[in-house]
Structure 1
Amino acid sequence: MMVEHDPEIQVTNTEELARDLLVIPNNNVPLVPNVGIIGGTHSVLVVETGLGPSNAKTVLDFATEYAKGRQLYLTTTHFHPEHAFGAHTFAEQATFLINQAQADDLKTKGPAYLEMFKALGAPVARRLENTVVPEPDLTYDHTHDLDLGGRVVHLRATGRAHSKGDQVIRVPDADVLFTGDLVETGQFAIFPWFPPHDTDVSGTRWLTVMQNLAETAPRTVVPGHGDIGDTNLLTDVRDYLHTLRDETWKRRDSAMSEETIIEEVSALLITQYPTWTAQEWIEKGISCLCSEHPTP
């Protein structure tokens, strides 16, 4: 995939989801995440940085002005470059807090992902100039409740799914959930399945995570990319992953070749979800699930 557009964050059309809770939307621009700004009486939490230092500076400048002297925190939903590879720009101005599994991903896989993304095209390479793979200031293992003053935000590591280090961020008083790339609106789930170099994504674990998240039924869901929605975004991804798994395994267990499985299941899913974009990720999902088996 070569990228010809500039993955630039624009802060001109922020959306207010609740009191002191904003989203800088990605405007459906590829490689631009939805960015959250969550405020309390004494602190403000930023969710995602955008791709590279210049996008991160745009987010930091906006958050600093919005905070009006309140302490800044930063978190990211997972280690992929458009979500986390601007965190170094926040150094000494915000406390970077993430789950330990995501920190491990940054350390072990960050440099390779930086080079891989630079190869996606000149606009991406320009955005990644002078990028430093970040290190967190604080980490937690499984759960962390961050007190912003009159508002407590729940940071929760989900375990392996889209990546090894996925994290969701919930704002209970506003009933808002930030999912990162566990959820995209109107798009087939992104499976970064690139054996032998990267096989951390798990379709079976991802399905379990989505089943658990869907049961919580949040009022508002902020996906990694695409339009903000409600709990139906969670059930849509859950149902898609369920169908992807079942249709793949049914054919695999009948000794069908992977090439034929990809052909048949892709056609079925495109028919079932005719308006969804990024069809190229269906094949990756099928290949991933062909390698997985039910948990005993």
Structure 2
Amino acid sequence: MSLSPTVPTEVADRVWVARHAWFDVNVTYVAGERGLVVVDTHASTRMGREVVETARSLGAGAVVGVVTTHAHHDHVLGTAAVRDAYGEVPVHAHEACVEELEAWAADRPAYAGEEAEPGEVDASPVVLPDHPFSSAAVLDLGDRVLELVHPGRGHTSGDLVVRIADADVLLAGDLVEESAPPAYGPDSFPMEWPLALDVCLQLCTDRTVVVPGHGAPVDRAFVRDQRADIGVVAETIRDLAGRGIRVEQALEVGEWPLDRSVLGHAVTRGYQHLPASQKRLPLL
């Protein structure tokens, strides 16, 4: 797989998004008087070097911080290259993201997907965020602030979003996806995800540019519609479990707003997370 350098797009005042072909993942650069903050660093050290080259090309100062939206490898493995270029810049993340990333690094599975250079993912070191927070944090760039908010568990336990109020931008990580359906993985929280998106919607206006983890920027209406689908998934799980439908039968029995092929983990995790009071004994 050959990859061409990605040209960033300025989606708002001094907010640039580079949408990369590999993983269709977004890396965002936010500039202020004190320098640049990079939000997510892509999937390998090689791609992290491209992140550094892009940051330098913007002419907006040195990188003074990294923000990690969640612990998945396609968003974090370029961080070592950023630190190689700019020194021990702080890496901000939610505290649960740090725990998830540490656990993943300790029992790291071999990567089996497509990559530009053989072994580049497995050879990329993990840099654990060293500036964790529990609910909210603020990054001061002098003439603007970045608000880091943990809206609740959804795509993972440690999701965060970044609000740039003066530019009316929300960086949503993988709580929102434009180029694919919502990504329910084995570490997702399908019953809580709708509530996390409710918080995101409260952080948006009708003019907000929302940058998803993957795909093109969207607006508040898109987030509202995706929240509706995720909410229906959660309520369908709750209804099926409440009627005594076995988890093994739920995908076939339920009427789902998304393709069944992407809902396996959603159903399994949803049944696991429901309290016993909301589940009936399976019907014979």
Q: What TM-score do you get using the length of structure 2 for normalisation? A: 0.86
Name the SS for the 2:270 alignment partner.
helix
Offset at 1:125?
5.4
1:9 touches 1:55 (CA, 8 Å); kept in 2? Answer: no
Matches within 5 A, 1:129-168: 129-168=122-161
**What is the CA–CA distance in structure 1 between the aligned matches of 2:161 and 2:56, rounded to whole Å?**
23
Residue 52 of structure 2 is aligned with which of 60, 71, 75? 60
Encode CA deviations 1:6-63: one digit per residue, 9 max, x unaligned.
Answer: 6x57423x2211221111123xx46241111100012111111111000110011211
The residue aligned with 1:97 is: 92
Encode CA deviations 1:86-135: one digit per residue, 9 max, x unaligned.
Answer: 111122513322222222222122343x424x123565853314211112
2:9 touches 2:18 (CA, 8 Å); kept in 1? Answer: yes
The residue aligned with 2:184 is: 191
Residue 40 of structure 1 is aligned with which of 10, 28, 32? 32
Deviates more, 1:158-167 or 1:65-74: 65-74
Does residue 201 (structure 1) correspond to residue 188 (structure 2)? The answer is yes
Matches within 5 A, 1:11-30: 11-12=6-7, 14-26=8-20, 29=21
Residue 179 of structure 1 is aligned with which of 172, 177, 193? 172
Relative distance call for 1:44 and 1:249 in structure 2 (3 A) is same
Identity fraction in percent: 23
Residue 82 of structure 1 is aligned with which of 66, 70, 74? 74
Relative distance call for 1:132 and 1:66 in structure 2 (3 A) is same
Name the SS for the 1:204 alignment partner.
coil
Encode CA deviations 1:211-261: one digit per residue, 9 max, x unaligned.
Answer: 121233341100010111101232122101111112222222222232332
Offset at 1:295?
10
Letter paired with 1:106? L
Q: How many residues align?
A: 272
1:158 touches 1:209 (CA, 8 Å); kept in 2? Answer: yes
1:33 touches 1:224 (CA, 8 Å); kept in 2? Answer: yes
**What is the CA–CA distance in structure 1 between the aligned matches of 2:65 and 2:209, rounded to whole Å?**
22
1:175 touches 1:220 (CA, 8 Å); kept in 2? Answer: yes
Name the SS for the 1:51 alignment partner.
coil
Q: Which 5+ residue runs of structure 2 have no aligned equivalent?
A: 278-284
**What is the CA–CA distance in structure 1 between the aligned matches of 2:253 and 2:5, rounded to whole Å?**
40
Name the SS for the 2:109 alignment partner.
helix
Relative distance call for 1:186 and 1:25 in structure 2 (3 A) is closer
The residue aligned with 2:253 is: 264
2:64 touches 2:90 (CA, 8 Å); kept in 1? Answer: yes
**What is the CA–CA distance in structure 2 between the aligned matches of 1:102 and 1:72, rounded to whole Å?**
20
2:31 touches 2:60 (CA, 8 Å); kept in 1? Answer: no
Q: What TM-score do you get using the length of structure 1 for normalisation? A: 0.83
**What is the CA–CA distance in structure 2 between the aligned matches of 1:192 and 1:10, rounded to whole Å?**
29
Name the SS for the 1:126 alignment partner.
coil
Relative distance call for 1:211 and 1:73 in structure 2 (3 A) is same
2:251 touches 2:267 (CA, 8 Å); kept in 1? Answer: yes
2:155 touches 2:193 (CA, 8 Å); kept in 1? Answer: yes
Offset at 1:281?
2.1
Q: Which 5+ residue runs of structure 1 have no aligned equivalent?
A: 194-199, 274-278
**What is the CA–CA distance in structure 1 between the aligned matches of 2:164 and 2:198, rounded to whole Å?**
19
Relative distance call for 1:158 and 1:10 in structure 2 (3 A) is farther
**What is the CA–CA distance in structure 2 between the aligned matches of 1:211 and 1:129, rounded to whole Å?**
36
Letter paired with 1:289? G
Relative distance call for 1:144 and 1:46 in structure 2 (3 A) is same
Letter paired with 1:202? F
1:99 touches 1:165 (CA, 8 Å); kept in 2? Answer: yes
**What is the CA–CA distance in structure 1 between the aligned matches of 2:116 and 2:244, rounded to whole Å?**
44
Offset at 1:171?
0.5
Relative distance call for 1:111 and 1:288 in structure 2 (3 A) is same
Letter paired with 2:192? R
